[in-house]
Chain A
């Protein structure tokens, strides 16, 4: 699919809104001391409606935005989100027609994988942010939070993509 102007502007609007929610509200409501990554969950939900190259591009731009407010090396979130967007869009055809429950589980699995990927990239460049145990806890919290987040964010995503327009590989 190509980005129509309306879809693009709606995408920007929901990503900016979720970004502001993430920095202003989410850190105050932790689960077992860990922070839920809403932009990542939204990216994965959105990427289910995109082709891989657009999924990667949306991931990259979202990641750059998040990188602006993090202290981690600039570009690390962009790299992780690009790969997450690409990977999610690549498997989108398998889950696009499924019900909300299956999609929630898929988003949970992909979110946990993506957040672990971030830690792995950090470890590759010599920045060991968390222990394996903590990483497991972060992945678990992200996965658990992804299920209700998917249900809550789905109406927003349907607003961006009012018609089901999934096309495999663009």
Chain B
């Protein structure tokens, strides 16, 4: 009986210790835990990179065998999407003009174009089913810091969540921890977009009931003062709007503009929220290798 009590007491101690660690990690910004994770990230980086180069092709073949139906469906979907994009390519210029006009109307500076970018390679995918992160081959020695936005040509994919000397981790925007201030382009209303888990759309809260929001409407970052995202980065498009008369707000669902599956190359925006002006970098020749040219400004 005493041994049962003793083992339960030890279990209770371990549970308590775990809960304390969870609380410390959730409440602290940086600190010992992040440092330890950074050291492990650096130490295991070469192993993960080399294993990725060896096992990725084999894993691809494995995926082809185990997920053939899914790949076929994805292929058909992509073909349909290409046809759709070919039809809508002319509309893109118009939308971009409209976006810039709206930003100008709001008196906003289009900081996005001025912010320097660092091209990084995705060197590893998540190692757990409950993790929404990617690992990049650039770290603090390349100027990356925690909080910097990460995007592809299609839109935002997340933010830097951990940085070691040579590596960094990206928290994807579908992560339940992910929040970003957003603006509905059509109405100019601001809200907060939050991740809701893998393969799920984002949810925007704090949009007032009387704001007209239509499916297909573009959603960009609002760039509030102190936000780690500059203004005007494309987040996604509205797919559903559900009014909540009790709270006086609307629950808006948005589909991310960027495809978060099979990412290979991404761009980290060298955006420092505290800096009075964005980091402006020189233009890099177009024929330069993106991996060799760490900073790649947009026009």
Do residues A72 and B131 form an inter-chain contact, with CB atoms below 8 A?
Answer: yes
- Point out the residues of chain A lying under 8 angstroms from B281, CB to CB: none
- A-contacting 9-mer, from B57-65, B227-235, B248-256: B57-65
Do residues B52 and A169 form an inter-chain contact, with CB atoms below 8 A?
Answer: no
Do residues A53 and B26 form an inter-chain contact, with CB atoms below 8 A?
Answer: no
Do residues A169 and B3 form an inter-chain contact, with CB atoms below 8 A?
Answer: yes
Name the distance in Å between B51's Cβ and chain A's nearest Cβ.
4
- Point out the residues of chain A lying under 8 angstroms from B76, CB to CB: none
Size class of the B contact interface (CB-based, 8 Å) = 35 or more
Interface size for A (C-beta < 8 A) is 54
B10 within 8 A of A: yes
CA distance A76 to B44 in the complex (A): 21
- Given the known A-B contacts A75-B20, A130-B198, are A53 and B10 also in contact in the complex, defined by CB atoms under 8 Å? yes
A25, A79, A119, A138: the one contacting B18 at CB < 8 Å is: A79
Do residues A32 and B10 form an inter-chain contact, with CB atoms below 8 A?
Answer: no
Name the distance in Å between A80's Cβ and chain B's nearest Cβ.
8
Name the distance in Å between A136's Cβ and chain B's nearest Cβ.
12
Name the distance in Å between A143's Cβ and chain B's nearest Cβ.
13
- Point out the residues of chain B lying under 8 angstroms from A150, CB to CB: none
Do residues B130 and A75 form an inter-chain contact, with CB atoms below 8 A?
Answer: no
Q: Which residue of A lies closest to B128 (CB)?
A: A70
Q: Mark B1-12, 1 if CB is under 8 A from A, else 0.
A: 001101100110
- Given the known A-B contacts A128-B196, A170-B3, are A79 and B124 also in contact in the complex, defined by CB atoms under 8 Å? no
- Point out the residues of chain B lying under 8 angstroms from A25, CB to CB: 51, 55
Q: Mark A66-86, 1 if CB is under 8 A from B, else 0.
A: 011111111110110011001
B14, B41, B127, B197: the one contacting A82 at CB < 8 Å is: B14
- Given the known A-B contacts A74-B21, A130-B198, are A37 and B128 also in contact in the complex, defined by CB atoms under 8 Å? yes
CA distance A118 to B176 in the complex (A): 15
- A-contacting 9-mer, from B32-40, B95-103, B149-157, B216-224: B32-40
* A-B CB contact pairs (8 Å), 15 listed: A27-B126, A52-B11, A69-B37, A70-B130, A74-B37, A75-B17, A75-B20, A75-B24, A79-B18, A79-B22, A125-B26, A128-B176, A128-B196, A130-B130, A169-B3
B residues bordering A, Cβ < 8 Å? 3-4, 6-7, 10-11, 14-15, 17-22, 24-26, 33, 36-37, 40-41, 44, 47-48, 51-52, 55-56, 58-59, 62-63, 66-67, 70, 124-133, 161-162, 169, 171, 175-177, 196-200
